[in-house]
Structure 1
Amino acid sequence: MEVENQTQVTKFILVGFPGNWGMRVVVFLMFLMAYTLTVAKNVVIILLVQQNQPLHKPMYFFLANLSFLETWYISVTVPKLLFSFWSVSNSISFTHCMIQLYFFIALMCTECVLLAAMAYDRYVAIRRPFHYPTIMSHGLCFHLALGSWAVGFGISLAKIYFISRLSFCGPNVINHFFCDISPVLNLSCTDMSVAELVDFVLALVIFLLPLSITVLSYGCILATVLHMPTGKQKAFSTCASHLVVVTIFYSATIFMYARPRAIHAFNMNKVISNSMLLSPLLSTLSFIA
């Protein structure tokens, strides 16, 4: 059967969260509340950091960047999801699906690098406190943040290029509530080995390299804290919230994406995706706590 004779899919149908009306209302309210709280809290954090001179420090600069990123991270998927609860036909065009997929991947990759930059900031603050203001200058912080965004959006271009070049001849039903990599790849009617390999290799690079930096940074931090007097070990508390965010984020992303084969347990994908979409709310609360 030749692919050229097949009809190219122009839109996809998102299954979302099927179920009875009562359950759908509960899920809708849960996501609406989580989305509203996350956006509101992140906006408050950004405004507080921007308008308060005492908060013009590297730690809060990166926190403001993370808050800005996570606001857009959930805005890529959740508004469409909320609309789908009241839509008769939950369809999305091929172009819009690729756009949603691109920004979701880009923001996720950016967060990987940004979390590593934040870990390095904590490493310098605890390991070299007297040189901290000199090392973590405004210029370095700016370039670390800019580099995080550039790497995240750049790598995602390669990912989405190979995915968008695949042929989709039908079926066009995505058993998910947004356009995610594995469900989309599973619908391709052509050989997706190259796209899958590129996705796997880039996933390893963008996940494992920043994760290695984060783990090494916290390993050095922990070694330093253990040799501190008991009274000074409170310094590690400034890292606790960031460590919670890293744990939640990487646990979900490595399970979901660091695989060479398309995932078939899509109901499990939905559960893990829910934790990823709710993690911005959890991370915001952990930083505020």
Structure 2
Amino acid sequence: MGKIIVSGASGGFGHAAASKLLHMGCEVIALTRSPDKVADLAERGAEVRAADFDDLEGLTKAMEGGEKLLLISTLRVGERVEQHRNAVEAAKANGVKHVVYTSIVGGGIKDHPGVEQTDHYETERLIEESGLAYTHLRNSLYADAVATAMAIPALASGHKPENGGAGKVAMVARDDCVNVAVGVLTQDGHENKAYDVTGPEAMTIHQAVAMIADMAGKPIAVEDVDDEGMYQYFDSLGVARKASDIKPDGPIPWASEGMVTFGQSIREGFMDVVSDTVEKITGKKPQSLKSVLEANKGAWPQ
């Protein structure tokens, strides 16, 4: 097997994937804007290369010698398709044969309310049009995000506004998504396919929050709001509405537009998908939301 390029290697997903690939004896090219953050991967034999998705020339040089690319979607929701285009062009220029892309449930739907899904839809199309072999991993909402980014402020305030309504989503452990990606990169037969990657059970955000409250022994009042009410909540936290309004190096690197339209897509049923992908590719059943909550409970406010 040739060298596997892992983008975003200093991020949680990329670092975990690179680490698992190294453990399996694979040759890894780890791309990151911050090489000092992945010194541990270099010590274990990874070729760590500095790469910036906004710099096509530098990115092309960084991908030299790779056979497969794990393309982890960048964080700039609403503006990242050009970054992904650069990555695909750099891969093609280097003769990379297979691009494994971290997409999202609903990423294959053209007219989707979520700006997240719109980004992913456009990226899936440009990968397919490149002529490279592809595998789209349409990951569901991370259970880890529910256990931290959602649970901690809700427990701290005892209150959570929500625009997802009665819509359901099968929250998935990030580690299960990483294991699926590693499986696809190291097994045969996954070329030119798209997989929904989900947890074992679809539930509403109300049900998830009730589980958090029960485990913490603290009440959390969930207030159903419309999309504008959700925007106003994020406004009160100082979150920019659009990616173009994010302050460079500011305290909040994401925009509320992605979060609000994500809630809308849950409410309208676009996220109500349960698949057996995790078990089929990894041989293990997906982790439940409850088990992920248990693993993160130590970070919750007392």
Q: Same fold (TM over 0.5)?
A: no
Q: TM-score, normalised by structure 2?
A: 0.28
| Larger RCO, structures 1/2 (Cα 8 Å, 6+ apart) | 1
Bigger Rg over Cα: 1
Q: TM-score, normalised by structure 1?
A: 0.29
**Greater fraction helix:** 1
**Greater fraction strand:** 2
